[in-house]
Amino acid sequence: MSSPAGTVGPGPGDERMYVVDPIGKGFAYGLAENLRGDPLYLMPPWPGDVYPPALPDRDGHFDYLAPEDPEFESAHLYGSVRFTLDVWEKYFGHPIDWHFRRDLDRLELVIQRNLRENAFMGYGFLEVGIHETADGGVEPFSLNFDVIAHEVGHCIVYSVIGVPDPGTAGSEYYGFHESAADLTALIAALHFDSVVDELLETSHGNLYTRNLANRIAELSGNSQIRLAANPLSMLDFAGGWRDEHALAQPLTGAMFDIFVDLFHEELVARGLITHSQEDLSDRLEDSLDYFLVIQPIFDEAYEAAPEEFRDALVASRDELGMLLAETWRRLQPDDLSYAAVGATLRMVDQMMTGGRWRTIIDVNLRRRSIGFVDAGPRLRPPGPGDHFNLPRVFVPAKRGSCCKGRHPHRAAYRHSTASSDTLPYVFHFR
């Protein structure tokens, strides 16, 4: 991580964030009600007792902690957030300020053990819950890098793109948010040598196999929350949609396809596969014979030059990261559409490469009908537990209504997503 030894204190915590493992925190932050039924918005900092924090050793490090140590979860949660920020600040070329910096100096990272099958971020907090396995076991999301990095992705979008004015956020803004968060996690994970090595050892560079890169939030050897390599297009949502995570899939799939094509171009440029083999892969991409024909080609090529494959993958990862960062910084939150994302991506490619990737971008966006078909209406009203029925980001109405680091744990909230005093929506992972 970028934090020098000695700059991270108990928690862990630094000038940007800190971890709490609370005792007796019955509810996650966000909207709740008091005993009279009045709406309250629970906000950090947590005022109660906490379990012992992770402490640095005498040299300022935390790597002495073993996975079975109770403080390991806290250290892993902090490290995952800090590492993800490091990755994306490299692509943006500057520190990413918190969108809540008006009122809070630091992000509170919370291990919320009674939050089942979810993790989410909001105004000044990022909370992670647990996953319950089929056999009754519990796997904490504090140890799932993809889940944590996904939530950091939401923070990045809010900080870089901004929050739409109330009432101007279209359906595709929320689909974009989920897609960008998944891509944030995917690219950040590919900065671990162990992930890159396992990805190439299992796929031999055929990235359309089910692998560590395209399985977002891997839960087991054969289970994950979403697949980046998915078949959905905007045609599947022309008649309407029910869930923003599903609506995100066409955009995520298009970006993953662009990543694969960038990788293939790198392999050709380095003489690792031929133009004809790349063309064959493109022609068979939607064919049932794809793996039967293409996998042997990658097996042979990878065996001959594994380190060169690795260098090509890393170069492609960074190319996509730069394209996304430069695209996201130019988007506007109000009335954001997938068509605008595609048009901005083309403009960024022209600016950065002289249009080198224009064909790749056009082909993959067209395959998903992005820029040709808009998402239809929401097909069902929001239910009690639906993301669109809860305020996802609370912004105090008046500057100074929250004092930095000292504001009340419970803030009054007027429950109206059309209110000029509020900005909608805490982003949930699932």
**Confidence (pLDDT) at 423:** 34
Tell me the whole-structure pTM to 2 decimals: 0.88
pLDDT(411) > 70: no
Burial of 114 (0-12, 13-18, 19+ CB in 10 A): exposed
**Confidence (pLDDT) at 387:** 47
The whole-angstrom separation of Cα 41 and Cα 31 is 5
The whole-angstrom separation of Cα 236 and Cα 245 is 13
**Confidence (pLDDT) at 427:** 44
| pLDDT (average), residues 39-45 | 84
Closest to 370 measured CA to CA, from 276, 222, 258, 202: 258
Give the β-pairing of 107-116 and 17-20: parallel
Question: In this predicted model, what pLDDT tens digit does every residue of 71-99 receive, in sequence order?
Answer: 999 999 999 999 999 999 999 999 999 99
The whole-angstrom separation of Cα 26 and Cα 169 is 32
The whole-angstrom separation of Cα 400 and Cα 397 is 9
Domain locations along the chain: 17-163+393-428, 193-367
What confidence category does residue 29 fall into, taking pLDDT thresholds of 50, 70 and 90? confident
pLDDT(428) > 70: no
| pLDDT (average), residues 298-314 | 97
Closest to 170 measured CA to CA, from 414, 376, 390: 376
- Judged by DSSP in three states, 406 sits in coil
Q: How many CA atoms lie within 13 A of 331 on its CB side?
A: 34
pLDDT(393) > 60: no
In 174-292, at which residue ranges do the beta strands (DSSP E only) sit? 215-220, 223-227
Closest to 287 measured CA to CA, from 227, 212, 349, 208: 208
Sign of the four-CA dihedral 115, 119, 120, 125: positive
What confidence category does residue 410 fall into, taking pLDDT thresholds of 50, 70 and 90? very low
What confidence category does residue 120 fall into, taking pLDDT thresholds of 50, 70 and 90? confident
pLDDT(13) > 90: yes
The whole-angstrom separation of Cα 200 and Cα 204 is 5
What confidence category does residue 403 fall into, taking pLDDT thresholds of 50, 70 and 90? very low
**Confidence (pLDDT) at 375:** 95
Q: Where do we find the tokens 């900092």? A: 45
The whole-angstrom separation of Cα 150 and Cα 20 is 19
Share of the chain above pLDDT 70, in %: 84
**Confidence (pLDDT) at 216:** 54
DSSP label at residue 143: G
pLDDT(388) > 50: no
Residues 294/284, Cβ–Cβ less than 8 Å? yes
DSSP label at residue 61: -
Residues 390/31, Cβ–Cβ less than 8 Å? yes
**Confidence (pLDDT) at 414:** 30
| pLDDT (average), residues 394-413 | 46
| pLDDT (average), residues 338-354 | 98
Share of the chain above pLDDT 90, in %: 64
pLDDT(110) > 90: yes
| pLDDT (average), residues 105-120 | 91
Q: How far is CA 227 from CA 214, 223, 367, 378, in A?
A: 5, 10, 17, 23
Residues contacting residue 374 through CB under 8 Å, at least 6 positions apart: 172, 234, 238, 337, 338, 339
Question: In this predicted model, what pLDDT tens digit does every residue of 201-244 receive, in sequence order?
Answer: 999 999 987 766 665 544 444 444 567 778 899 999 999 998 88
| Phi and psi at residue 193, to the nearest 5° | -55, -40
Amino acid at 316: S
**Confidence (pLDDT) at 33:** 74
Instruction: Kindly report the number of other CB atoms within 10 A of residue 168's CB atom.
Output: 12
Between 63-67, 225-229, 413-417, the lowest mean confidence (pLDDT) is in 413-417
Average pLDDT of the residues of the chain = 85
Return the structure tokens found at 243: 């869930």
Question: In this predicted model, what pLDDT tens digit does every residue of 152-199 receive, in sequence order?
Answer: 999 999 999 988 776 667 889 989 999 999 999 999 999 999 999 999
Between 69-83, 258-272, 370-384, 390-404, the lowest mean confidence (pLDDT) is in 390-404
What confidence category does residue 369 fall into, taking pLDDT thresholds of 50, 70 and 90? very high
pLDDT(391) > 70: no
The whole-angstrom separation of Cα 105 and Cα 20 is 16
Architecture of domain 17-163+393-428: Roll (3.10)
Q: Where are the alpha helices (DSSP H) in 220-285?
A: 244-247, 249-269, 275-283
Instruction: Kindly report the number of other CB atoms within 10 A of residue 77's CB atom.
Output: 29
| pLDDT (average), residues 52-75 | 96
Residues 260/207, Cβ–Cβ less than 8 Å? yes
